[in-house]
Amino acid sequence: MKINNYDEKSIHILKDLEAVRTRPGMYIGSTDSRGLHHLVWEIINNSIDETLAGFGYQIDVTIFKDNSIEVSDEGRGMPYKMHESGRPTTEVILTVLHAGGKFGKGGGYNSSGGLHGVGSTAVNALSSYLELTIYRDNKIWHQIFSNGGTKVTPLEEIGTTKKTGTTIKFKPDPNVFSQTVFSYETIRDRIREFSFLLKGLKTTIKDLRPKNTLYEEFLYDDGLISYIGFLNSGRNTLTSITSYSDTYTVQEDKNGKNISADISVDVAFQYDDNYNERIYSFVNSVKTTDGGTHEVGFKAGLTRAVNEYARKASLIKEKDTNLEGSDIRESVTAVISLKIPENVLEFEGQTKSKLGTPSAKTATENLTYNHVTTYLTENKEEALKIINKALASQRAREAARKARDDARNIKTKSKQEISLSGKLTPAQKLDRDKNELFLVEGDSAGGSAKQGRNRVFQAILPLRGKVLNTENQRLENILNNEELSTIIYTIGAGYGANFDVKKSNYKKVVIMTDADQDGSHIQILLITFFFRYMKPLINDGRLYLASPPFYKVTKRRGSKEEITYAWSDEELEEIIKDDKNYSIQRFKGLGEMNADQLWDTTMNPEKRTLIRVLIDDDVEAEKRVRLLMGDDSTQRKEWIDQNVSFEVIDNYDIGDK
C-alpha cells in the first residue's frame, strides 16, 4: 500500500512540472523577455510576502555571468520538515502547483494576491537548475533540482548558522525561453519600487556580467514621500508632498460570513504645473494597473474635501457648480498603497490588476477626506494654488465644450465633415476582433495604402503634416485638434479615463511612417498621444509600428526580374553577395513604393513585420515621456548626453553596379 501511495505522488509531481513545461504561457504569460522576468517576480514575491508578514528587512538579487539569478531574503526560512503528504515541505512548495487549497487562505498578506500560488513550482519547472538554501533552526539546509524540477540532491543539512532566511538561485531553461538575458534595469526598477512601498526595506542588486560589476542598493525611511520625490524629480512642483497613513479594522461579508480584517492605507501626493494626472496604486506591493476600490476612494475623498474647503473659503461661490474630480486631479502625482489580508482580498475580472474589496474604498476615502481637509486648512497658500489650478481646468473644459457645441450647431456642415473631414477609408466589414487601422504619414502614401490594402478588414487614415505634441496640452486642445480628434472618433472607444478598449473598432492600430527622422518623430508624437489618452489600447497590445523595408533589390534573371526587399544593411549584403546582375533602390519614403509593393512588404499580414508597442514599466515610461516630450530642454539635453552615443555612419554608395 505504502509503495503504491508513493508512486502515485511521484506521478502527481511529474504531472504538475510537466503541465507547466508543456504550456508555460498559461502559468507565466509568455516565454519572451516578459516571461523570463516573470520568473524573477514570482521568486521575489515570496520574499516580499515574508517582509509583509513582518519578517526580514533585506532582499538581495544577484545576476550571474551564465544568466542565472539569485534571490535572498532574511525571512523565517522556508519550512522544510515533513509535510503531511510524506515529503519535505520544500519539495511540496517547489514541485506541486498549489493554486487554492493546499496552503489555504490565511489572514496573512500575500503579494501574489492569493491568486496563483504557482510561483516557485513554475520557476522550478522552467529552469535548467534551481538551488535552494534555507537558514532555519540554526542550520543551513540545501537542495538542488535540475532539468525542469528533477531532484538532483535530497534536502540535506550542510552547516550551522545564526541567521534565518531563504536563498534561491536558478537558471531559466534556454530550451523554454526565446530570450534568456536578464535586464538589469528592469529588475532594478522593480526592487526600487518595493523599497519605496515598504518603508525600511533594503533591496540590493548586483550584476556580475559586465566587466565592472554593477551594484545598487535602495532603502527609503520616508517611503511614499521619497517615491513622490522620485516620480516628480525634474518637474516644476506646485505644492509640497503631503502623506498620510492609517489602519482600519473593516467588516467584509464573504459567502454569508462576516469577517473582520485590518486594512492599512498609505497615501502621498503632490501637484505640479502640468496637465495630466498620475495615480499609481498598489495592493500588497503589487501594482493595480486598472485601479479599483482604493483609487475610487482616494478620488472621492479628494474631490469632496477640496470642494468643501473651496466653498468655505469662498473660492467657489454659492451659485457656482462644484469642481469636477478631473479638474481637481489635473496635475496631481499620487501613490496609493494598501495592505489587505488575503481573506478579504478581492479582484475584479480575470487579472489581479483591479482591486474589488469594497471596504478598501471606505477606508481610503475617509482617510483621504480627513487628511486633505486638515492639510488644506493648515496650508492656505498651497490650498489656493490647488484650487486655482482646478478652477482654470474647469474654465478650459467649459470653453471647449461651448466651442464644440457651437461647431455642432453650424447647419451648413454635415456631421461627417466636422468629425472626419472625410479622410478615413473604412474597412468593408465591421469586425472588432480583426480590423486594422493604418495611420499613414502623408496623403500620397495614404493613396498607395488605400489601393494596396485588403479592403475587407484594413482601414486607412492619412495624416497631414506634423502631429500635435500632446505632452504639454490640456485635453481640450487635443479635442480641438483635427488630426487627433479624428483618430479618437475613428477608433470609437472614447479617450482618457473614459476610454473603453472593448469598444475599439480595431484590433490593431498601426502607425505607418517613412523610415526617416520625420517619420520617427511622427511615431513618437502619436505614441505619446496614445500613452496619455488611450493607455489601455497599448496595454491590450493593440498599438503597432509598421516596418517598411529600406531597400528593394531587383535581380535580372535573363528576361525576368526577381524582386527582394531588405530591412537592414546586413540583409542587403546577404541578398547581393555572389550576384553581379542587380540593382538596388533605397526607399526614402513610403510614397516611393507603389500600392502592390506597400501591400507586399508592409501591410500583408502573411509577410509583414509589425512592432508591438508595450509599456514595461509605467513609472519609467511616464518619466521618459515627460523628459523627452516635455518642455524642460536642459534635462532633456542632459539625458541625451548621458544615454545617446552619436556615431558617424559611412555614407553607403548605392546605385546600379
* 518 carries an active-site annotation: yes
**Among residues 17 and 71, whose Cβ is nearest to ligand 28G?**
71
All three cell numbers of 52: 509583509
Q: Least distance from C-beta 139 to ligand 28G, angstroms?
A: 14
Stretch near ligand 28G under the rule CB under 6 A, chosen from 46-54, 441-449, 473-481, 532-540: 46-54
Fill in the amino acid letter for 607.
K
Name the closest residue to ligand 28G (Cβ): 46
Region of residue 468 (left: phi > 0; alpha: psi -120 to 50; beta: else):
beta
Question: Which DSSP helix (H) or strand (E) runs through 565?
Answer: strand 560-566
Q: Which is nearer to ligand 28G, 89 or 264 (CB)?
A: 89
- Spatial distance between the Cα atoms of 70 and 87, rounded to a whole number of angstroms: 25
What is the C-alpha separation between 335 and 280, in angstroms, rounded?
5
Q: CB burial class (10 A; 0-12, 13-18, 19+) of residue 267?
A: buried
Least Cα distance to 360 among 462, 250, 443, 260 occurs for: 250
Q: How many residues bind ligand 28G (CB under 6 A)?
A: 16
Q: Of these residues, 157, 516, 562, 579, which one is catalytic?
A: 516
Question: Which of these segments, 163-171, 225-233, 588-596, 632-640, binds ligand 28G (CB under 6 A)?
Answer: 163-171
Q: Which stretch binds ligand 28G (CB under 6 A): 165-173, 272-280, 387-395, 476-484?
A: 165-173
Q: What are the φ and ψ backbone dihedral angles of 160, each rounded to 5 degrees?
A: -115, 160
Q: Single out the catalytic residue among 441, 476, 483, 622.
A: 441
Select the span of 164-172, 292-300, 436-444, 452-460 touching ligand 28G (CB under 6 A): 164-172
Contact residue for ligand 28G among 47, 326, 425, 602 (CB under 6 A): 47
Local structure of 74: helix, strand or coil: coil
CB of 8 to ligand 28G, least distance (A): 23
H or E segment to which residue 449 belongs? helix 443-452
Return the number of the residue (17 or 302) whose C-beta is nearest ligand 28G: 17
Query: To the nearest whole angstrom, how small is the minimum distance from the Cβ of residue 165 to ligand 28G?
Result: 7
Residue where the block lists cell 513582518? 54
Choosing from 13, 41, 46, 305, the residue that interacts with ligand 28G (CB under 6 A) is: 46
Q: Which residue has the cell 496604486?
A: 281
333 bridge partner residues: 270, 278
Q: Which is nearer to ligand 28G, 44 or 603 (CB)?
A: 44
* Binds ligand 28G (CB under 6 A): choice among 6, 103, 215, 652: 103
**Which of these ranges, 166-174, 231-239, 247-255, 439-447, lies near ligand 28G under the rule CB under 6 A?**
166-174
- For residues 10 and 14, give the distance between their C-alpha atoms in angstroms, rounded to a whole number: 6
Cβ burial 613-624 (10 Å sphere, 16+ → b, else e): bebeeebebbbe
Report residue 420 as a C-alpha cell: 472626419
**Residue in 378, 518, 562, 616 annotated catalytic:** 518
Phi–psi pair at 198, nearest 5 degrees: -110, 90
Does 320 participate in catalysis according to the annotation?
no
x/- letters, 64..93, toward ligand 28G (CB under 6 A): -------xxx-xx-xx--------------
Q: Is 106 in the site for ligand 28G (CB under 6 A)?
A: yes
Tell me whether residue 165 or residue 462 sits nearer to ligand 28G (CB atom): 165
Closest by CA position to 512, among listed 481, 564, 549, 483 = 549
Shortest separation between residue 79's beta carbon and ligand 28G, angstroms:
5
Shortest spacing between CB 49 and ligand 28G, in angstroms: 7
| Min separation Cβ 635 and ligand 28G, Å | 37
For residue 467, state whether it binds ligand 28G (rule: CB under 6 A).
no
166 near ligand 28G, rule: CB under 6 A: yes
Rg (CA), the chain: 28
| Nearest approach, Cβ of residue 636 and ligand 28G (Å) | 39
CB of 89 to ligand 28G, least distance (A): 7
For position 50 contacting ligand 28G by CB under 6 A, the verdict is: yes
Please state, in angstroms and as integers, the Cα–Cα distance from residue 317 to each residue in 314, 320, 351, following that order: 6, 5, 44
**Amino acid at site 209:** R
CA angle 85–87–92, rounded 5-degree value: 80
Give the x/- contact pattern for ligand 28G in 24-43, rule: CB under 6 A. -------------------x
The residue among 298, 437, 429 whose CA lies nearest residue 362 is: 298
**Residue 50 CB, nearest distance to ligand 28G (Å)?**
5
Catalytic pick from 16, 60, 483, 514? 514
- Please identify which residue in 31, 167, 307, 368 interacts with ligand 28G, judged by CB under 6 A: 167
Q: Which of 168, 176, 336, 487 binds ligand 28G (CB under 6 A)?
A: 168
3-state secondary structure of 157: strand
Question: In 10 A of CB 317, how many CB atoms?
Answer: 8
The strand pairing partners of 127, in sequence order, are 172
User: End-to-end distance of the chain based on CA atoms, in angstroms?
Assistant: 82
Residue number with CB closer to ligand 28G (103 or 215): 103
Give how far Cα 394 sits from Cα of 279, 369, 408, 511, Å. 20, 21, 21, 33
C-alpha cell recorded at residue 205: 542588486
**Considering beta carbons, is residue 47 or 281 the nearer one to ligand 28G?**
47
Q: What span, in angstroms and rounded, lies between the C-alpha atoms of 453 and 426? A: 11
- For position 504 contacting ligand 28G by CB under 6 A, the verdict is no
Cβ 83 to ligand 28G shortest distance, Å: 9
Residue 234 CA to residue 151 CA, distance in Å, equals 51
Q: How far is the CB of 201 from ligand 28G (least distance, A)?
A: 14
In the complex with ligand 28G, the residue whose CB is nearer, 79 or 496, is 79
Of 63 and 593, which CB lies nearer to ligand 28G in the complex structure?
Answer: 63
Nearer to ligand 28G, 198 or 545 (CB): 198
51 touches ligand 28G by CB under 6 A: no
Of 373, 334, 340, which Cα lies nearest the Cα of 358?
A: 340
Strand 257-271 to 332-339 pairing: antiparallel
Considering beta carbons, is residue 102 or 657 the nearer one to ligand 28G? 102
Whole-number Å distance between alpha carbons of 111 and 583: 60
User: Which residues are known to be catalytic?
Assistant: 441, 514, 516, 518
Which residues would be at the binding site for ligand 28G (CB under 6 A)?
43, 46-47, 50, 71-73, 75-76, 78-79, 103, 106, 166-168
